[in-house]
Structure 1
Amino acid sequence: MILIYLCILSLLLWILLLLHPDQRYLFNDILPKKSSLGEIPKVSVVIPCRNEELVLETTLKKILKVDYADYEVILVDDCSTDSTYKIAKDYLDTPHKIIPGKEVLEGWAGKMWALQQGVENATGEWILLSDADIIHSDQSISQLVSLAFRENYDMVSVMVSLSTKSFWEKLLVPAFVYFFKILYPFKAIRNKKRKVAAAAGGCILIKREVLANIGGIAAIHGELIDDVALAKKVKSSGYNISLWLAKDICSVRDYVGVKDLWAMVARSAFTELKYSYIRLLFCTFGMCLLFLFPVICVLSSNTMLMCFGLVTYLVMTITYLPAVKFYDIPLLFALFIPLIGLLYMLMTLDSALKYTFGIRAKWKGRSYKN
């Protein structure tokens, strides 16, 4: 009987997600096309770079060809030990700038310190914070700026399209965005009356004046999940923000094996739970309820349990199909959603375990305090 009740509860939760007005599972929040601009504000594209020799040449070629009349690229070489600085020198000259980064200050996250140095050297009315692995489309800056002006947004962020070449990327990358959209429904983020706030750190356009008014990058200087922290600062200060999906703005960073993807998620999963073991307990139970119990019911010899399990599995799969379609991968991968949910649960538990035993999160050779 307990399993039946749990499966019924799981089914009701999946139906709630399916019918919820926020449409958390849908992938229809596509970045609108550009519209005509009455004015062309200057945009400073700030790119923090640490050991990015594998991707930098490709991404710089694209950002230097965008169709926008007034912009500058400010690349901050964050103490790289590879050929990052040399590649930047080969491609960037006036009006663009290369800032040799200083060693990270105590209490600052490395990326935040690099962004701080870049913003200090920016001269644009708008700041575009862009990761080094992002390939911009010809229209990307125009799209972002025209949308900000048309809808009176003070900050516009884009969840760029991630690589789905390898098996593990196909299995886990769409789910990364799927779970992010469930936690932070994009529709609610764009609603001025809702408190929900989030951004995607790879591509954020923000008005320079707004960034200054919230305290600048220094206001989030030690944050591990810096993009969400920035969005919360901006929205709670009364400004309008939005988050969108984009197919033609994409990342060229590959996660060939499960190890890299696991590290990416585990690096900040327990941080998302605010280092709370009570939240971890509820999260673990919730993930088991949503993804594990329906499968157990399907495999049961009890006919009623099997029926409830199959219906729950069907609804679960339907909610995941938009993510699979968006990334143009075989629809068969939607059937793996229970396994995917279990893997993400294990990543979260691993994140908590590392925190408990004082194993600090690492990114690009740097350790971060939790």
Structure 2
Amino acid sequence: MSALTWIALASLAAWAWLLLGQGLFWRTDIRLPPRGAPADGAWPTVAVVVPARDEAQVLPMSLPSLLEQDYPGRAVVFLIDDGSTDGTAKTARVLAANCEGGLPLVVASPGALEPGWTGKLWAVRHGITLARAQLAPEYLLLTDADIAHEPDSLRELVCAARSRDLDLVSQMARLRVETVWERLIVPAFVYFFAQLYPFRWVNRPGARTAAAAGGCVLLRTDAAERAGVPESIRQSVIDDVALARVVKRAGRGPAARGAGASAVAPGGRPAGGRLWLGLAERVDSVRPYTHPRELWRMVSRSAYAQLRHSPTLLVVTVVGLAVIYLAPPVAVGAGVWQGERVTWLAGGLAWAVMAGTFLPMLRYYRQSLWWAPLLPLMAALYLLMTVDSAIQHYRGRGAAWKGRTYARPEAAP
């Protein structure tokens, strides 16, 4: 058999494993767990922390949804304007003034960014500090400025956290898919994320896999304190995954143990913090990506950081993507052309399994199922974005976002 035939067979074996052995990552049925109102009728106090930098364009579509939350308990929204130049703070105050009877809004600035911090986490730090001083919240809702919530979103998140005794509840907001480029890149982005961090593994108590979606994270305050958040992750570009990892690693506190949760895992190990991650039904991103350059930058700014800035991992990733995603269509074309039945058959089966695993995500995003066979093209784009991320890193322009370029963590002060 030719080398291409062996590669096609390797790809088929990889897809057989991914289909059954990677936490059923391709399924989209992980939604907020069964939930109900607090048994004692006491709703916890919640601080909603919204870091914002030059977000005046999207705030009218997102901030009112937070101010109009139908939450029975006490909640305050803290919008932290991180050095915006487009009138973000003024826009937020005008929106609050027009939202009579909504949640209180506090607008503040964190001051100049200190070395060793990313801008978002610097703003989150200031928001959490204000919330602790003014509110003493039991929970923190960390949500981005471009995320719109249905009126019952906060109530449902709190109910899920209380009923399942969770330290962190995160929903991956449904991103916008209107332009051709959004349809080509966005569903694949969520698909690849779920492949890296299968939600079932994240949600399994005691499992090592930890992840969160930064656009919508409900965090128990005492869990944040035990994990040293956000100081412990202050240099993280991929802050949501880093947050989940330190919360899981920090274990359970007195509040959780008092609720009846075990403080010790099987084998005598300290029980890790309990996480839940799933797809959102009533939480949406309103940020438009009208140009492919914006989507490219969204992915490439953190892709090499995901690989821990390792040239070895970069090479392994490029080869892996090529074998798993690009080889099947090449094998089909070359096998048919050269009359090598095993080659095109193995490539075709691998391509069919690949496309089949993508169908649930397309349904979730209400997209045509005819996009599924184009997953190799989408993977090729992500491969190029990853390589570009590494190139920009070594040019000193890696992890650039909204006018800031962040240093590699070990190089930061």
Could you state the TM-score of these two structures normalised by the residue count of structure 1? 0.97
How many residue pairs get aligned? The number is 370
Contact 1:159–1:200, Cα closer than 8 Å, also in 2: yes
Shift of 1:34: 4.7
Query: C-alpha distance in 1, partners of 2:403/2:397?
Result: 14
Q: Which whole-Å deviations, capped at 9, do the CAs of 1:24-43 have from their partners, x for residues lacking one?
A: 11111122465222320011
Residue 216 of structure 1 and its aligned partner are, at CA, apart by 2.4
What is residue 344 of structure 2 aligned with on the other side?
Answer: 306
Report SS of the residue matched to 1:180.
helix
User: Does the 8 A contact of 2:50 with 2:80 survive in 1?
Assistant: yes
Match of residue 47 from structure 1: 50
Gaps of 5+ in 2: 98-102, 252-272, 409-413
What amino acid is aligned across from residue 196 of structure 1 in structure 2?
T
What secondary structure is seen at the aligned counterpart in 1 of 2:225? helix
Give the structure with higher Rg (CA): 2
Q: Deviations over 1:307-357 (max 9, x none)?
A: 111111111100111111110011111110010111111111111111122
1:362 to partner: Cα distance: 1.6
Aligned to 1:259: 293
Using the alignment, how far apart are the partners of 1:271 and 1:65 within structure 2? 37
Partner SS, residue 347 of structure 1: helix
Tell whether 2:297 aligns with 1:273.
Answer: no
8 A contact 1:197–1:228 mirrored in 2: yes
CA distance in 2, matches of 1:3, 1:360: 35
Task: Give 1:288's aligned amino acid.
Answer: A
Match in the other structure for 1:235: 248
Is residue 2:380 matched to residue 1:361? Answer: no
User: Would you say the 8 A contact 1:361–1:368 is kept in 2?
Assistant: yes
What is residue 213 of structure 1 aligned with on the other side?
226
1:145 matched to which residue of 2?
A: 158
Helix, strand or coil at the partner of 1:268: helix
Correspondence 1:169 to 2:188: no
Q: Deviations over 1:210-253 (max 9, x none)?
A: 11111121111111111101100000112111111112200000
Paired amino acid for 2:357: T
Counterpart of 2:90? 86
The equivalent of 1:16 in structure 2 is 17
Asked if 1:103 corresponds to 2:137, the answer is no
Deviates more, 1:88-97 or 1:5-14: 88-97
Query: Residue 325 in 1 paired to residue 360 in 2?
Result: no
DSSP-derived class of the 2:358 partner: helix
Shift of 1:16: 1.3
User: Residue 64 of structure 1 corresponds to which residue in structure 2?
Assistant: 67
Counterpart CA distance in 2 for 1:44 and 1:144 is 13
Task: List structure 1 runs of 4+ shifted beyond 6 angstroms.
Answer: none
Question: 354-363 vs 318-327, which deviates more?
Answer: 354-363
Q: C-alpha distance in 2, partners of 1:194/1:29? A: 17
1:323 to 1:259, Cα distance in 2 relative to 1, 3 A: same
- Is the Cα–Cα contact under 8 Å of residues 129 and 201 in structure 1 kept in the other structure? yes
Cα displacement (A) at 1:289: 0.3
Judge conservation of contact 2:54–2:87 (CA < 8 Å) in 1.
Answer: yes
**Cα displacement (A) at 1:21:** 6.4
Paired residue secondary structure (1:92) = helix
Aligned equivalents of 2:237 and 2:188: distance in 1? 21
Contact 1:32 / 1:143 at 8 angstroms: preserved in 2? no
Whole-angstrom distance in 1 between the partners of 2:77 and 2:206: 35
The aligned amino acid for 2:78 is I
Q: What TM-score, normalized to structure 2?
A: 0.87
Question: Out of 335, 339, 359, which is 2:377 matched to?
Answer: 339
Name the CA distance, whole Å, in 2 between partners of 1:351 and 1:269: 6
Distance 2:228 2:66 in 1: 28
Tell me if structure 1 keeps the 8 A contact 2:237–2:399: no
Q: Alignment identity in percent?
A: 38
Would you say the 8 A contact 1:34–1:142 is kept in 2? Answer: no
* Alignment partners' CA distance in 2, 1:37 and 1:12: 48
Report if the CA contact (8 A) 1:298-1:306 is conserved. yes
Query: 1:85-126: CA deviations, max 9, x gaps?
Result: 111111337843111231101111000100000000112110
Contact 2:51 2:81 in 1 (8 A): yes
What RMSD over aligned residues (CA atoms) do the two structures have, in Å? 1.3
Whether the 8 Å contact between 1:92 and 1:98 is mirrored in structure 2 is no
Pairing partner for 1:120 from 129, 132, 137 = 129
Aligned to 2:236: 223
Q: Residues 213 and 241 of structure 2 are in contact (CA less than 8 Å); yes or no, is this contact kept in structure 1?
A: yes
For 1:117, what is the secondary structure of its paired residue? Answer: helix
In 1, Cα distance between equivalents of 2:109 and 2:236: 23
Matched, 1:156 2:172: no
